[in-house]
Chain A
């Protein structure tokens, strides 16, 4: 584990303490076992019925020593808990994350910004990630930033992301949630405060209106096909809530919950045959002519 945050640093330390301790215990047990197996000596049959001398050894090695070690480990556990699950009063920003089969719906209550499969956070600021689910139980896990937190319908759970340094951290659903559990990932982008503020303001704005006739055609393709029933593009008539928000699709790192890169080729493949890339997902295939598809791609790529 690479520690890119305080909590993961704590977990990392716990791991190395336990790993070294376990390695010592394992070595001692295997050494004792080897001594027992390799030492050859004959015991006269009449001695077999007498128990070997060893009850004291069993009490010391099996009860006394483990009790001391476990009490120490318990103290470490209680000490680490507030570091990995800090009190929520310390956070300065909240993000709402809703798990859905099979993507992450992300919004910022401070200004109404909405996106999907991508959480931006400012470096050095503890962020309260508030999670819930719209369908089944998921679990949000960004291994480099913090422990996982289950995403449960009807209940809001919290986890704090507090990135030490800038970077892009991949996260993934960690509770089995059906056919495309494997392709329910997301990216957390930790960036300097100024850059984050600029991003957040842009995400809250409606989609840029089509700047030319081609983009106009692309938007019409979108609004006149099935797309709009499931997807939302703020500033247009597309207000669906079943699929990911597309308002600023072109600014994102990935498509289909971090399944494929956000490039024109992948986007085209996804629109035409999403079931090939992510079998069982909720998006149906679309039947567009070549020109329609090109216009639609042009439009989607203009959504910065």
Chain B
């Protein structure tokens, strides 16, 4: 047994720190990089929001110029949607999916590394615009012709930046799909997959079908802006509504791309802190997939005011109502699990309880947007701003905060301060509601969104001041969380392998896990494998016997899609600098496009070809490592 572990340690040992920094393909390292980078973007977008709230604290305020306000609110939305939530959840997925399914890596480790580098590069690309004072200024949904007709590079950062980022998101999604279908531990049949992985699977399918619509839209936009095409111009046979249709065919599924992994986190945490198996597992897994599917049939409810025929709108109203049902299934399944269990109110679970309360409000106001005349009244008002913050902050950020506290002991091996955690929850919960609840009322009173200021005597003053005060409380709550996390990673008490008595496989290995995740590939016989004590003891005995240890290289198993029967032993690729080099080459190409420098763009194309060649060249050293 010791000899086997020594061989694993040797085979999976990391080279020097510098080489690891640029060449690692370890899904845990990449996952943490996603989490940290996305958190930095979250803080930036939060600071932008604080500036916006300061400007709106009182009527006719002149703290920000209209131009500054427009850039900041656009960047707030772009950052939160594209550079924070989706990559943050990719981070959870990268770190957790292989661990939860009992694998040693993602299906395509180098593609995984490439995805992260492209995310980082495109994030820096988009943020360089803010440094230059030329940030996108037409909102996160960037309607034409406002965006297609404007001068300057502001909007090009949006169009090119999102095409660039889409490469990363798509690569990540394909990787998740293959990993979840083919690399599960033996015995983890479809009806035993952890619900978080079901959510990542549903999200990944949504991404594969939704991102092309956004990328195509941005491509048409850039062709119009830079090369004089007329896709959106009615006078020359185009249509400005083409942008909106393509955007929302991406945009509404994107709501579920954000929301589904977050509810996957909820479904991970609820059974653990209720100490009871999840009620209606099959229904919840089906509801997750159904949400991803139905999400593609509702986009027109973002366009009820553009003057479409009533019959068209009625169809989309019905679809928009139907999508409430899968969400209802999940909410009542969590509640039934809590009622049937023994709830333990620790910090991660507090955030989940907060999530349920807040998300129910956001879900109910969401159904109202399917009621066409009401939608037409309150769309583009502060009512919709309130609604989508209840859904996105409530529906995604609360679970993300819960997930951070829940998995931090696994990732860092150390425990955060529970007292500080509880205090931070109350600051975030009170601050959130104080910020966003009054916006329902200001919207009903007629306040449109995206105004940089508003007149006195409209009855909006007190509501806006409350929102700004709430924003400050919320920001303080986030600050306390950051301090608690940073403190814990250095001074926190040792967490142990399984501090929560949890049901999934990541808690069966050490905290933090070894590079090879599991000393022997676990064999699974239920949906709560870590609660099956005898199966885990059996893993130990197999390790002693040397079964499924796979210590001859970077090895893990491939299993069948449905029943997860053992099929092959996979030899996984090792560290490689090519993903980073390819991402750099792509960056050169996009920098060439944004600066209208054809020479730079062509150098980028050549570099991409070289990097792809290097990536795929059969370097003998790879084989030597495996041998």
Q: Chain A: residues with CB nearer than 8 A to chain B?
A: 1, 7-8, 10-11, 14-15, 18, 22, 25-26, 29-30, 32-33, 35-37, 39-43, 47-55, 57-59, 61-63, 66-67, 70, 73-74, 76-78, 80-81, 83-85, 135-137, 139, 141, 143-144, 147-150, 152-155, 157-158, 170, 172-182, 279-280
Contacts and interface: CB of A to CB of B under 8 A. Distances in A.
By size class, the interface of chain B is: 35 or more
A178 B137 CA distance: 8
B361 A180 contact: no
Contacts of A50: 277
A66 B328 contact: yes
Given A26-B364, A181-B450, A53 B377 contact: no
A54 B240 contact: no
A52 B353 contact: no
A40 B332 CA distance: 20
A70 B373 contact: no
B373 A54 contact: no
B339 A52 contact: yes
B338 A36 contact: yes
Contacts of A7: 373
A55 B370 contact: no
Nearest to B381: A174
A7 B367 CA distance: 20
Nearest to B139: A176
Nearest to A66: B328
Given A54-B339, A59-B283, A136-B149, A180 B66 contact: yes
A155 B307 contact: yes
Contacts of B50: none
B444 A1 contact: yes
Given A32-B339, A70-B321, A150 B307 contact: yes
A175 B306 CA distance: 11
Contacts of B314: 77-78, 81
Contacts of B446: 141, 143-144, 170, 172
B448 A172 contact: yes
A54 B280 contact: yes
A139 B305 contact: yes
A155 B526 CA distance: 59
Contacts of B371: 14, 18, 73, 76-77, 80
6 contacts: A43-B276, A55-B279, A57-B279, A80-B372, A81-B372, A155-B307
Instruction: Pick the most buried of A40, A83, A147, A180: most chain B CB atoms within 10 A of its CB.
Output: A147
B293 interface: no
Given A62-B332, A136-B146, A150-B307, A182 B325 contact: no
Given A14-B371, A84-B376, A37 B338 contact: yes
Given A50-B277, A51-B279, A172-B448, A39 B339 contact: yes
Interface in B259-298: 274-281, 283
B342 to A, nearest CB: 5
B536 to A, nearest CB: 13
A57 B283 CA distance: 12
Nearest to B453: A182
Contacts of A177: 146
Contacts of B276: 43, 47-48, 51-52
A172 B239 CA distance: 25
A83 B381 CA distance: 22
Given A51-B279, A57-B332, A150-B307, A70 B367 contact: yes
Contact of A55 (B275, B280, B353, B450): B280
A74 B322 CA distance: 10
Given A37-B343, A58-B333, A176-B138, 17 more contacts: A1-B377, A18-B371, A22-B365, A26-B360, A36-B341, A49-B277, A51-B276, A52-B279, A66-B328, A77-B372, A81-B314, A147-B373, A150-B306, A152-B240, A174-B448, A176-B449, A181-B448
B314 to A, nearest CB: 6
B237 to A, nearest CB: 10
A48 B318 CA distance: 39
A137 B374 CA distance: 21
A30 B317 CA distance: 27
B36 interface: no
Given A74-B318, A148-B305, A85 B310 contact: yes
Given A176-B138, A279-B65, A70 B322 contact: yes
A78 B471 CA distance: 39
Interface string B228-265: 00000111000111000000000000000000000000
A137 B451 CA distance: 15
Contacts of A51: 276-281, 340
Nearest to A143: B446
Contacts of B66: 179-180, 182, 279-280
A49 B353 CA distance: 23
Contact of A84 (B233, B331, B373): B373
Interface in B328-372: 328-333, 335-343, 345, 353, 356-357, 360-361, 364-365, 367-368, 370-372
Contact of A58 (B145, B239, B329, B365): B329
B203 to A, nearest CB: 21
Contacts of B339: 32, 35-36, 39, 52, 54
B20 to A, nearest CB: 40
B426 interface: no
A279 to B, nearest CB: 6
Interface string B509-543: 00000000000000000101001100000000000
B498 interface: no
B142 to A, nearest CB: 10
B364 A15 contact: no
B360 A25 contact: yes
The 4 closest A-B pairs by CB, nearest first: A52-B340, A154-B234, A54-B336, A147-B376
Instruction: Pick the most buried of A14, A61, A153, A182: most chain B CB atoms within 10 A of its CB.
Output: A182
B452 interface: yes
Contact of B325 (A40, A49, A66, A147): A66
A29 B329 contact: no
B377 A11 contact: yes
A188 B235 CA distance: 31
A104 to B, nearest CB: 14
A51 B281 CA distance: 9
Contacts of A83: 373
Contacts of A179: 66-67, 70
A275 B328 CA distance: 52
Contact of B146 (A39, A57, A141, A176): A176
Given A49-B526, A84-B376, A36 B283 contact: no
B584 to A, nearest CB: 36
B340 A54 contact: yes
B380 interface: yes
Contacts of B345: 37
A74 B325 contact: no
B491 interface: no
B143 interface: yes
B482 interface: no
B483 interface: no
Contacts of B146: 136-137, 176-178
Given A54-B339, A147-B305, A33 B356 contact: yes
B535 to A, nearest CB: 12
A183 to B, nearest CB: 8
Nearest to A169: B446
A16 to B, nearest CB: 11
Nearest to B150: A178
A33 B240 contact: no
B615 interface: no
Nearest to B62: A279
Contacts of A43: 275-276, 341-342
Contact of A135 (B67, B145, B360): B145
A11 B383 CA distance: 14
B324 interface: yes
B333 to A, nearest CB: 5
B79 interface: no
